[in-house]
Every structure is written in structure tokens, then in C-alpha cells.
Amino acid sequence: MENNTDITLHLRTDPGLLCSVRALTSRYVGEWLHDDSKTKEIVLAIDEACANAIQHAYNNDPNQTITLRFTAMERTLEIQVEDRGHTAPTEKVQRKTPAPPDPETLTPGGLGVQLIHQVFDEADWCPGTPTGNCVRMRLYKKNQES
């Protein structure tokens, strides 16, 4: 996969830069997918992955680095978001079955992770070496007739 990577981006963990990541992701994914609605969902999911790295892996330190890798193959889009911060606990990044929302007890923490699971066909969190996280997200192009 590494040899096929189209774009590798090293991003400083300044939340003010997230708008630039969204612009790049929108253009790159839009060209591959040709589906505006799904492209917007992918943009949201990548933004969430970067925001999680900034907030949770690096505790909002604006002077760390996240690496994004964009790879588009004929039928598969893969985007990786890597950090070298605190490794996320497994239970925090698992796909959960959503419970009926109760406004009184609602705690929106972890919402970003569930959005990522929902938007992509596959999303895996691997521990970094020696620290950090590698979030690998994959989307498969559906057959037009399906």
C-alpha cells in the first residue's frame, strides 16, 4: 500500500489547520468517488480522526505531528491517520451498537469514533510503534447497478 500512496501529508496539530485538511480531502475523494453526499461524510470522518489525534493522543498540544496518507485504487480508497501520542484504549475505538438516545444521560464523548465506523466500510485502530495510533479507513466503490 505504501508504494501506491498518492499523498502523504504531515500536519501540525493546530486545530486551525483542520479546514485545510477538509479542503484537500474533499477535492481528492470527490475526484475518485463522484458522489458529493458520500464525499462530505468522508471529509467529516477524516476531520474526526485528526481531531481525535489532536485531543486525545496529544492532549491538545499544537506542536505535534499527524501524518495522513491518501491512497486511491480502482475500487478501494484508503486513508490512514497516524500519530505518535497516547495509544487509544481498545474499548474506546470499537464499533458500538447505538442505544436509543436519552437527552438526560447523553454523553457525546466518542462520537467521532462512531462516525468514522459508520462512514467507512472498514476502520481499524492499530497501536503505533513505539507509541501512538494508526487509524486505517477503507471505502470500497460500490457497483453502479447495486
Smallest CA-to-CA distance from 132 within 30, 20, 56, 71 is with 56
CA distances 133 to 11, 35, 41, 56, 130, Å, are 15, 29, 22, 11, 10
Residue 112 lies near another protein (rule: CB under 8 A): yes
Nearer CB in complex with another protein: 1/111? 111
**What length does the chain have?**
146
Short-list 84, 59, 79, CA closest to 69: 79
Q: How many positions of this chain bind another protein (CB under 8 A)? A: 27
Q: Does residue number 38 form part of the binding site for another protein (CB under 8 A)?
A: no
Per CB under 8 A, 141 contacts another protein: no
- Should residue 114 be labelled a site residue for another protein when binding is judged by CB under 8 A? yes
CA neighbours within 13 Å on the CB side: how many for 7? 16
For the bound state, the minimum distance from the C-beta of residue 37 to another protein, rounded and expressed in Å, comes to 8
Q: Tell whether residue 83 is a contact of another protein (CB under 8 A).
A: no
Footprint on this chain of another protein (rule: CB under 8 A): 15-16, 18-19, 22, 37, 40-41, 44, 47-48, 51, 54-55, 98, 101, 103-104, 106, 108-109, 111-112, 114-115, 118-119
